[in-house]
Amino acid sequence: MGLCSIPSLSTGICRSKPAKFDDHFWLEIAWTVAATVILVGMAIPSTTVMIKAYDDAKGDINIMVTGYQWKWQYKYLEDDISFFSNLSTSQEQ
């Protein structure tokens, strides 16, 4: 009961009149346009870099790596080879 009444009481006592703000329509438009220009300016170069970095050419070897909690599994798809790699040092083995 006390935990609920203290915040309610302090809110009622310390309550002041809300601040008055004037609208600045053109400032809000400029702010929005500036943010949009910055975001588009960052998106265009990063998109072109990602397109150039994407290489869909067939690789020499295909490996499927699956992570488990304490180990990794490697599968060489063309050679039908699979093995696990544990996260431990040679001293622990």
Distance of CA 29 to the CA centre of its chain: 28
| DSSP letter, residue 62 | -
Q: What is the pLDDT of residue 35?
A: 97
Tell me what pLDDT residue 9 has.
75
pLDDT one-digit tens code per residue, 13-65? 777 777 777 788 899 999 999 999 999 999 999 999 998 887 667 778 889 99
Which residue range is the domain that position 82 belongs to? 61-88
Contacts of 71 (CB under 8 A, 6+ apart): 84, 85, 86, 87
pLDDT at 89 over 80: no
31 belongs to a structural domain: no
Nearest to 64 by CA among 80, 45, 42, 87: 80
Query: Is residue 70 assigned to a domain?
Result: yes
| 32 within some domain | no
Q: Answer yes or no: is 16 within a domain.
A: no
pLDDT at residue 42, as a whole number: 97
Q: Does the pLDDT of residue 84 top 80, yes or no?
A: yes
Number of structural domains in the chain:
1
State pTM to two decimals.
0.41
